[in-house]
Amino acid sequence: DLSIDDIIGYYRDIIGRLEGAGVKIIIVNKVPFSPQHDDERINRINIALNQLVDGDRVFLGDDKSYEYFRQHLELFVDGTHFN
C-alpha cells in the first residue's frame, strides 16, 4: 500500500496538472466507505485530503458518502461496488 503522504502527493500532482491545463476550479471528494478497505486508513486519507483544499481554486466536494455507505452496507452489490 502507498503511504498517505504518497497518496496526497499524487493528488497534489494531479491538481498541479489540472491547474497547468487551465482548470479554474478543482473539487476533491473524500473517499467513500468500502467494506473491502481498511476503515482507519480511509479516515486518515480523508483527513489528509483537507490539506489540499485552499478555498480559492481547490474545494472540498462530497464529504457525506463515507458515512452514508458505512451505514448502508446493503447497497454494496459485491462487497466493493455500490448499487
Q: Give me the helix-helix angle, 39-49 and 4-20, nearest 10°.
A: 40
CA distance 62 to 66: 9
Question: Structure pTM?
Answer: 0.80
pLDDT digits (tens, 9 = 90+) for 34-63: 777 888 999 999 999 999 999 999 999 988
Spatial contact of 30 and 46, defined as CB atoms under 8 Å apart: yes
| Averaged pLDDT, 60-70 | 85
By DSSP bridging, strand 58-60 and strand 26-28 are parallel
Spatial contact of 1 and 42, defined as CB atoms under 8 Å apart: no
Q: Where are the alpha helices (DSSP H) in 1-83?
A: 4-20, 39-49, 65-71
Give me the pLDDT at residue 70, please.
83
CA distance 65 to 49: 15
pLDDT digits (tens, 9 = 90+) for 2-34: 999 999 999 999 999 999 999 999 999 988 887
